[in-house]
Structure 1
């Protein structure tokens, strides 16, 4: 009997220790701090509620404990250096590696033990998101909108009544004027009216020289109008067509600070900047399946942006649930905005690399209130502020020539200093020490430079 009581007490103690250990698994760490760490380090490959590149991490502590009998210490080792853990022969570590197509997880030796505890606490008990808007405030806004609608309706009715009154007054005035005209139709006045010009043809015969002059002026103006219209054929400044997938440069380049050349790599190394392929989009959107940004365009919401991301998946043939490609692709038919004529030669790399400093400096001097920091903006405008990209400049021959005449060559470049040394000396002798070398001085206005 005594022996049974001892065992019973020991069992209670063991259960108490187990419960306290289990509780400590959930109690360790700060979920709020863990949320920030999770977003900074984990969201590229993981989510709490669904599989992405890696498994869903919601409740991962309990899952590892129940399925494998492993505690948080194993997760610490896995997060710190999963490669070393696999190399040690750990069965579960190698099982995960095989299960997820041998995609090696990043190592995080920079995370402290406390940081990892915070992340695990977040996966176990994520803090609830605060409501976006207070119900009372929403109700107030709704009542304000109703009142505003009523006021607008009353204003419309008042304006309509005023128009009816004015129309009545005008009709009354017309009747009175007609009566006065009839009273003044005396015989003398009738004889006078018979001598007046009553048609345009009579007026033209009487003043034919004036009519011919007016016609000549109108003909000149018409010819100028036709010539001016012909000169602007192919100039589409402000053109911003709708695209098959809504891509906001303001969100990508503006809010998220993505470098232009990450997507348009050809602008730096080739003649053409290229429209990015869907594979470039998938470099990021393979792990970004929904929009969680704070910025929203007018009239658009999270559901709209999530739907556009799904269009990318459909084009790439990507199954986000299985995290694999299906092989069923659908090319995206983008509408081209900037398109130089076939007889014009333009090399992006020449301007982006060789002319970068010179173009930025020249643009900022001419536009002190509209400074730029990236060479692309000199021609394409501030794309990082555009929800829908539009043609920001004329892109005419005159526009290009004006730029070549005013943009100074970057003489701080060692190559340019050596290559244009003789030309620089010649200009100094001809125009004095302060002479500037602009692009037109080095052949920037030669026809063969831009035309085949």
Structure 2
């Protein structure tokens, strides 16, 4: 009888242990390596293992749910495949999670099989160790050792070359010293004293002897000085190539180039307004609310992932965004951007007039004049290939002459609906006025060179 009770207690203990470890056994049955691939493809946009993003941190989620909520892996499968249905069934914890994360529903994944989910959970429970980095580090260490030995050998060779050079210089100095002694003795001779009487001893003597040559050189020097001053005055206010450092690093190559973000998504007023404004930080947060770290393949030379992640954190600090609570709970800080393109106050320039009315004419003219620098967006005609710039710089002179030359060479499309109707009575007059144009009318022919167009 005693033996039966002992075996009964052992059986109960085994059943209890089995029930409490069911979730971990399921997680261990999965393939963490496959789970890592699935996690990065399906989950990494909103979740991380070690920190909260849009959703909670998922490291050890299986054990955590078992301990805190007494929920097993079947609940996780139901939540991942269709969390909306799970909430609709009245599941208490499913609705608590929904409320806690600002009522943001998680994307359902009905396409994931139970095996796929087990693999993902196995990855969150036991993330696989990185690929054998030790061997790579060892190889790198061996390579470093070889490089260090090679560098030491080069330094030894350099030391020998330096000693030989110093010896040569010492010999040269000794030879010069001997020659100087000979010259001193020679200077004391009678013949040299007589010869010295015929030599020029001052600048005044030299100028008197070569007066005409001196005046010619002075005139030439004055001419070069005037030319230099003239060029300097012509460069006043011209800042081509200017690219100041901004308080938050923003790479147009990553955003407009790699990610193909349209210019007017951020600079929205360029199309229908006079000024192309600097985007507000709320525009940045439209994307970066859910992008808290940089996972792109491109890294600018000298910068790493940690640098880009730090710049994203500056956006959060400027807007007062708290990524932990997913809310604007902190005090926002203004960003002091450094302006790059800035027309003088006496110049009138309307972006809409060029981006909308002159878009096709500017594109055609630029691509015709620059066959090796074709553009697909009208903005690039003035601002250059911005989608290739890590730091935006001023691509052109933006001088009055530069604008006038553009007006003189950009052909107006006289066949579009507006121009055809508005200038219908001027066509013949323009053809007579510009006979060499062969019917092609440029911007200057329709008032593009009138002072009042650009100056108040």
Tell me the TM-score normalized by structure 2.
0.80
Residues 321-377 of structure 1 deviation map (CA, whole Å, 9 limit, x = unaligned): 333333322222222222222222223333333444443443333333343343333
Counterparts of 1:162 and 1:62, CA distance in 2: 73
**2:58 match:** 57
After TM superposition, the structure 1 stretch with the greater mean CA deviation from structure 2, 36-45 or 310-319, is 36-45
The answer on whether the counterparts of 2:23 and 2:73 sit within 8 Å (CA) in structure 1 is no
**1:251 match:** 254
Q: After the TM superposition, which residues 10-409 of structure 1 pair with which residues of structure 2 at under 5 Å, given as runs?
A: 22=23, 25-26=26-27, 35-64=36-65, 67-68=68-69, 74-75=75-76, 78-79=79-80, 82-83=83-84, 85-102=86-103, 104-105=104-105, 107-108=107-108, 111=111, 113=113, 119-120=120-121, 122-130=123-131, 134-171=136-173, 172-173=175-176, 175-176=178-179, 179-180=182-183, 182-183=185-186, 186-409=189-412
TM-aligned CA deviation for residue 95 of structure 1? 1.9
Q: 1:409 to 1:107 in 2, by over 3 A?
A: farther
Residues 181-214 of structure 1 deviation map (CA, whole Å, 9 limit, x = unaligned): 7437654543343133221112222333333332
Counterparts of 1:331 and 1:401, CA distance in 2: 38
Q: Secondary structure at the match of 1:228?
A: helix
The answer on whether the counterparts of 2:23 and 2:62 sit within 8 Å (CA) in structure 1 is no
Q: Secondary structure at the match of 1:258?
A: coil
Residues 283-316 of structure 1 deviation map (CA, whole Å, 9 limit, x = unaligned): 3333333333343333333333333333333322
- Corresponding residue to 1:437 among 431, 437, 441: 441
Q: Secondary structure at the match of 2:282?
A: helix
Q: 1:283 to 1:122 in 2, by over 3 A?
A: farther
Counterparts of 1:413 and 1:85, CA distance in 2: 59
Residues 135-166 of structure 1 deviation map (CA, whole Å, 9 limit, x = unaligned): 23211331243134324433543453354244
Q: Secondary structure at the match of 1:344?
A: coil
TM-aligned CA deviation for residue 385 of structure 1? 3.2
- Corresponding residue to 1:451 among 433, 452, 455: 455
After TM superposition, the structure 1 stretch with the greater mean CA deviation from structure 2, 112-121 or 441-450, is 112-121
Aligned length: 450
Q: 1:295 to 1:14 in 2, by over 3 A?
A: same
5+ long unaligned stretches in structure 2: none
Counterparts of 1:99 and 1:435, CA distance in 2: 69
Residues 251-277 of structure 1 deviation map (CA, whole Å, 9 limit, x = unaligned): 333444433333333333433222233
TM-aligned CA deviation for residue 229 of structure 1? 0.7
TM-aligned CA deviation for residue 232 of structure 1? 0.6
Tell me the TM-score normalized by structure 1.
0.81
TM-aligned CA deviation for residue 396 of structure 1? 1.9
